[in-house]
Amino acid sequence: MKVYVETYGCRMNICDSEVLVSILVASGYEYTPQLAEANVVVLNCCSVREVGHAKTYQRIGELDSCLRDDVVLCIAGCMSTQLQNDLFDTYPRVNIIIEPTAYRLLPQALVGIGRGHLYVRNGRQSEVYDDVLPTRVLEDSVTAAVTIMKGCDQYCSYCIEPYTRGERTNRSYEAIMDEVAEVRHAGYREITLFGHIVDLWEGEKRGARIGFAQLLDDVAKACPEQRVKYISSHPLTYTDEIVQAVKANDNIMRVVHLPVQSGSDKVLRNMNRRYTAQQFLQRVADIRNEIPDMQIITDIMVGFPGEDDDNFQQTLNLLRLLQCTNANVFAFSMRKGTAAYKHFDDNVSDAIKKERTEMARSLVGQIRSVEQQKLIGTTQIVILESEGNDFWYGRDLYHRTIAVLPTQEMDIGQELSVKVSDLKGQQLIGIAL
């Protein structure tokens, strides 16, 4: 029996898909990347934006017309927590809906399901699958993500994650270090420690309580041949100790994902982010004081309820002060069940959200171009991740992608010194030395 998985949404869903496939493989299933070969099809779906739900329903419709009658169709992921049994009336082709904490029950649920319908939950608030080693059939061969926690208890007013994935639960130190050893031996070149707010990880090492800074230091020292990175952090919890751990280890990437969301204190307050724009900028200044070349990747949400032109200008201003070269810019999407849904009207029009999204992206693009120009003539160490028609593509220690002209034998995962020679659009070009 073969299982095929499609994953939508964030990196957490990709990690969850790997766990889900591991559980099925341990029960005798085989993974297939071919939809046509599958006996079980899993859509691992995302609920963070409304568009995620729309995509899922569209995909169910497409599968309805092409799947064989004997194929079981299963909806998993954080979206499943929001679905009710009545989805089976609207979409009878769906056989199983399974919540993220219930994946261990999937093999049992598949037994004898036929064309029936089953909603699978286990009532647990959280499940970190401590003992499940991911199959890694869905990731690339260069970077391995190691999940260190599940869930989040920050309750940002716009976010559905604490309701769909439950409160934060940490994986144990031993389970994380075992998985790190496994990916190191498997030859991965990069390890990403992954969680909603990794800074908040806590665990026990030989009977003593430790935090994320110690874990990060231990992983970096256990993997001297690998690059180590971590996603995501939070402006309030990214501590000086974590900065020092980065500083002390040359193989920890000089990049931190620190979402700010808005430059307006009014909007930040309504988002329940619990810091001001000035506090965020001070945090970044403190980090750069210790590690001057640290790259900051941030997230910006435009069009939050009540965001007026002045508030948005404050966000643009913050991006300028930050000299932000890398930002994920999203338009606010109202999610039922969140605090924002209870307390605010979604009163910024789609047209304005679109316009602000484009303006913020354009500003970040301009800042990035200026910064990238400064790299021309420098030498960077990249690890090759993919091969295109004319170039190979690799990342440097600062998470920048460089397109490398193939002047010698090259291989995925290879580490190379590259001289940056040009900037075409937003793409850095380099020559292997």
Write out the residues near ligand SF4 by the rule CB under 6 A: 152, 154-156, 159, 161-162, 196-197, 234
End-to-end Cα separation, the chain, in angstroms: 48
Q: Which is nearer to ligand SF4, 57 or 155 (CB)?
A: 155
Find the shortest distance in angstroms from Cβ 48 to ligand SF4.
Answer: 8
Q: Which is nearer to ligand SF4, 144 or 149 (CB)?
A: 149
Find the shortest distance in angstroms from Cβ 87 to ligand SF4.
Answer: 24
Find the shortest distance in angstroms from Cβ 156 to ligand SF4.
Answer: 3
Place of tokens 């991006």: 319
- Asked if omega into 80 is within 30° of 0 (cis), the reply is no
**Tell me, what DSSP letter sits at residue 390?**
S
Task: Give the residue from 219, 211, 217 showing the smallest Cα distance to 190.
Answer: 219
* DSSP strand pairing (190-194 vs 143-147): parallel
- If DSSP codes are grouped into helix, strand and coil, which group holds residue 2? strand
Find the shortest distance in angstroms from Cβ 154 to ligand SF4.
Answer: 4
Q: Which is nearer to ligand SF4, 156 or 364 (CB)?
A: 156
Find the shortest distance in angstroms from Cβ 34 to ligand SF4.
Answer: 34
Find the shortest distance in angstroms from Cβ 383 to ligand SF4.
Answer: 28
Residue type, 320: R
Task: Give the residue from 287, 270, 357, 362 showing the smallest Cα distance to 322.
Answer: 287
Q: Which is nearer to ligand SF4, 154 or 325 (CB)?
A: 154
Q: Which is nearer to ligand SF4, 221 or 336 (CB)?
A: 336
Find the shortest distance in angstroms from Cβ 162 to ligand SF4.
Answer: 5
**What whole-number distance in Å separates Cα of residue 130 and Cα of residue 232?**
20
**What whole-number distance in Å separates Cα of residue 373 and Cα of residue 241?**
33
Strand 143-147: give its sheet, edge to edge: 143-147, 190-194, 227-231
Q: Which is nearer to ligand SF4, 80 or 380 (CB)?
A: 80
Q: Which is nearer to ligand SF4, 330 or 393 (CB)?
A: 330
Question: Are 9 and 52 a contacting pair, CB within 8 Å?
Answer: yes
